[in-house]
Structure 1
């Protein structure tokens, strides 16, 4: 069986991690499948949105700790030089997923722990079931946060709260996750995936070019000053307002027709 189920519904791609027996831990097979899927999505003009979720009531339990222990016992970890290539591979596809020019919605049911939390926070929107839970428990196994959490978590919850989560490794409930900004909405487990697919469909109703530019600029909005953002805004708007899509949308708006979404 595949570690990752990939299905398409129109322009929406659903990525479902499918190793619930290991709590969808990031095994070599699952990481390879995610890497392949994300590389396939990159540059695919038919993709308009991505929904990432888990299975069996689990989003992702993070790193494969049993495999890590086995590697140590087998003498496969001699020093930092043995770990760096693995981190580089992880960061490679995580970066591609984070930077896809289409909406990425993560539907979290059950645990999103460790690197699984980092994976969830690559999404533009995080939806959670009422039995979802989140933690950054790296400190409990003598590790530092990874999967881009040093960047993403402080921007979601603030530096003080991120440090508290890093330092304690405590578990955050779905209700608290919504309150502190990790999850945007909380639903029942049964309603979670339909809500994610509904939201993804809503987000495809826009110019792909305008969406890609909006996503790219907002990704930098907390790092740049106002003047730099004004420059990016002017450049992006110049591209959009001179596009065929914009002209067609204006024409259809004035005629009280719905916009078209089949060209850029």
Structure 2
């Protein structure tokens, strides 16, 4: 995509940096932006060259979620609204199905659907300028874009009730305290921190990470026997993979594991 596209994607060393590129609208979900989501997220899901994805936006922004100009247009056509929801969830599911770690770097408001995007990442980094709000109860809507499914799994049911029913705005430090955010980083260092974190995953097995992400998505709702059966299948495939064989040989020969998060943090420096 070009530099003036609604979403830009830059790839380097196996990491795709996805930047929401409409700061003038606070990256609201305009038709232009949602069409770009529908193009970008399936492409990332299917890109076998990637080891990680960073989702970010222009400094001081993330996403305001729904386009209020469209939401304010009166329509009683329930079928039309449902069809629009199906279209939105198609690209959102592609986003959730990206098989490598997704790191969201939030440097501004993540509201409504933008909050859903942040929740859908595997790791959420925030600057001190980040703010989070479900928005939906403020404008008479049911929690949308997967937030009622994702949020309790991240922060617990009580905290999810609080945020989803009150629609109150929380800052980065409160989000960190409730476990929503992994780290709070100075705004001018946020992008670098996200890239450094993404770079660690070049040492990891893509297949193993993809399988683990699938199991995590299914774990909360699946009966144990079904979850165990899927785990057995995915683990058998991982045990038969070249990535596992190479890692096992390295451990035997050098006493070093192929993917050691602590060692990588020491080598690169967390900050």
Q: TM-score, normalised by structure 1?
A: 0.91
- 1:191 offset after TM fit, Å? 1.2
Deviation by residue 1:50-73 (Cα, 9 ceiling, x = unmatched): 11112141110110102322x33x
Question: Residue 147 of structure 2 corresponds to which residue in structure 1?
Answer: 149
SS in 2 for 1:220: helix
**2 CA distance for matches of 1:186 and 1:46?**
29
The equivalences for 1:238-249 within 5 A come to 238-249=236-247
Is 1:21 the equivalent of 2:19?
no
Alignment map for 1:206-217 (pairs within 5 Å): 206-217=204-215
CA offsets per residue over residues 174-195 of structure 1, 9 Å max, x none?
0000111111111111111111
Q: Number of residues paired by the alignment?
A: 255
- 1:160 aligns with one of 153, 158, 161: 158
Q: 1:97 aligns with which of 77, 95, 98?
A: 95
Structure 1 CA distance for aligned equivalents of residues 88 and 189 of structure 2: 31
String of CA shifts for 1:17-76, please: whole Å, max 9, x gaps: 01111111111111111110112122221122111112141110110102322x33xxxx
**Residue 46 (structure 1) aligns with:** 49
Q: Cα deviations across residues 201-228 of structure 1 (Å, max 9, x unaligned)?
A: 1123111111111111122222235444
3-state SS in 2 of match to 1:255: helix
Partner of 1:55 in structure 2? Answer: 58
d(CA) in 2 for partners of 1:180 and 1:67?
Answer: 33
Q: Distance in 1 between matches of 2:95 and 2:199?
A: 19
* Whole-angstrom CA distance in 1 between matches of 2:153 and 2:248: 36
Q: Given the alignment, which residue of 184, 191, 194 partners 2:192?
A: 194
Structure 1 residues 131 and 238: alpha-carbon distance in aligned structure 2, compared to 1, 3 A threshold: same
Instruction: State how far apart, in whole Å, the 2-side matches of 1:254 and 1:161 are.
Output: 45
> What is the aligned partner in structure 1 of residue 269 from structure 2?
none
- Tell me whether 195-204 or 143-152 shows the greater mean CA deviation: 195-204
- Unmatched 5+ residue regions in structure 2? 260-271
| Alignment of structure 1 residues 62-77 onto 2, 5 Å | 62-69=65-72, 71-72=73-74, 77=75
* Separation (CA, whole Å) in 2 of partners of 1:154 and 1:60: 21
Residue 136 (structure 1) aligned to one of 131, 134, 137? 134
| Alpha-carbon distance in structure 2 between the residues aligned to 1:128 and 1:259 | 29
Aligned to 1:86: 84
For structure 1, the residue ranges without an aligned partner over 5 or more in a row are none
**Counterparts of 1:259 and 1:124, CA distance in 2:** 21
SS in 1 for 2:49: coil
Bigger shift: 111-120 or 155-164? Answer: 155-164
Q: Distance in 2 between matches of 1:143 and 1:248?
A: 51
Among 178, 182, 196, the alignment partner of 2:176 is: 178
Q: RMSD across aligned C-alpha pairs, in angstroms? A: 1.8
Matches within 5 A, 1:5-20: 5-20=8-23
1:3 aligns to what? 6
The alpha carbon displacement at 1:159 in A equals 1.6
TM (norm. structure 2) is: 0.88
